[in-house]
Amino acid sequence: MKDYRYIYIIMALLIPTAASVVTPIMALYLTDKIHLSTSLISLYYVLLPIFMVITTQIAGKISDMGFNRARIIAISATFGVIANSFFYFIPSVLLLFFVVVPCFSLAQVGYSQIFASAREYGIKNLKSSINFTTTLRALASLSWVMGPPLAYFLVVNISFESLFFCCGVLYLLAALMSYLMPNVEKEVKNTESQKGEILHNKSVIFLFISVMVMFIAFTGYAATIPLYITHELNLPEQLPGYIYSIAAFLEIPIMFLAARMSKRIGLKKIMVAGGITLLIFMIILPLTTKPIVFMFIAFLPAFFIATVNAMGMVYFQELLPNIPGQATSLFLNACVCGQVVGGALIGIADNNHYSPIYMVDAVLAAIGLLFLIVVKKPKEIR
């Protein structure tokens, strides 16, 4: 039997890296090169996740109905090439909203399909699917460590065009590599039974709400912590970078530990531990004023991401074992919805005082934890 794990590993690096090199510089590009107003930039950041939620969920349903996941990934990556080509050759406001936003949203479809396909492959061919998908998740996280520095290096030392060229090449490689992926046979259910599997499953609905609400809280922290540290507390500007680096460093080993422990103590307990950690972090955060304490408590958001963000995808897949495409898309869309709403929490800040945001985050973390507690345990962890 041919070993396809290395194909999945390459795919799990290519598409997340392509996203990680273009996402951090978009606001800068839209301001300096296309000269958009702040209201139009905000519109871009609202429309993109809305399109992403719609397209990933539709693609998940189509793939679960029998369409080859590898072909969906190829089509998705091709749209990534198209989007970057428009930025490279003919950037304009009109094309941005009517062509690039839909293309970029479709380019993100491939990410969820890689993990849905890896899930099916792991169950059929490997001893532990959760260990395999956790490895892929760790690689995806690693790409976000490498991508942003690369993006700013290209923009500062060469040009925006060089960045879009590299991003387009990464998507092109992903499209070509997708043809080497295995065609995993799967049981196909009709559309009505698929719909009922989600809408009539209270645990899936509660889990979606839980993940979304907790990510609202987490995003409220992530979007404002640099402002809180530098503007409200007047601490060194380098401190937020150190906090992010420590969290990113700790996240990957905790992720592997969580995958191993989930088999022993249960997936739900791991997720609940992550929710409790987020709640504790949000309670401590507005009380913290010293740099050394900020660096010490960076462990807490790392633990949350390594458990809820990494194991959450597996939880959805275990609750919806017959439709892994839609299960994976539901998880990613819960995160996206949380990030969109969480970014808007900055409006709560008053005169450079960001502490009230973290108080709201603590309440949201508690609500998310309560919804998570009532979610049923998966029958098995594969």
Q: How far is CA 7 from the centre of its chain?
A: 21
Residue 257, token pair as written in the block: 């530990």
pLDDT in tens, 73-117: 999 899 989 888 888 777 777 777 778 888 888 888 888 888 888
Cβ neighbourhood burial of 379 (10 Å; 0-12, 13-18, 19+): exposed
Q: What is the pLDDT of residue 1?
A: 54
Of the chain, the end-to-end C-alpha distance in Å amounts to 20
195 has pLDDT over 70:
no
The candidate with the shortest Cα–Cα distance to 203, out of 371, 13, 11, is 371
Q: How far is CA 80 from CA 25, 117, 319, 325, 329, in A?
A: 16, 20, 31, 20, 18
- Can you give the pLDDT at residue 191? 47
Q: How far, in Å, CA of 367 to CA of 214, rounded?
A: 8
Examine the pLDDT at 207 and tell me if it is beyond 70.
yes
CB atoms within 10 A of CB 180: 13
**What pLDDT shows up at residue 224?**
80
Among candidates 208, 67, 83, which has minimal Cα distance to 59?
67
What are 339-366's pLDDT values in tens digits? 888 877 777 777 767 888 899 999 999 9
The residues, ordered by sequence, that sit 6+ positions from 192 with a Cβ below 8 Å of its Cβ are: none
Instruction: Answer yes or no: are the C-beta atoms of 135 and 260 closer than 8 Å.
Output: no
| Angle at 47 (CA atoms; ends 314, 81), nearest 5 degrees | 75
Q: Where are the alpha helices (DSSP H) in the chain?
A: 5-22, 26-32, 38-64, 69-89, 93-95, 101-107, 109-125, 129-157, 160-177, 191-199, 202-227, 239-265, 267-284, 291-297, 299-304, 310-319, 324-343, 355-373
Q: Which of 39-43, 152-156, 355-359 has the lowest mean pLDDT?
A: 39-43
Pairwise pLDDT comparison (254 vs 63), residue with the higher score: 254
Indicate if the pLDDT at residue 46 is higher than 70. Answer: yes
The pLDDT of residue 382 is above 70? no
Query: Is 64 within 8 Å of 188 (Cβ atoms)?
Result: yes
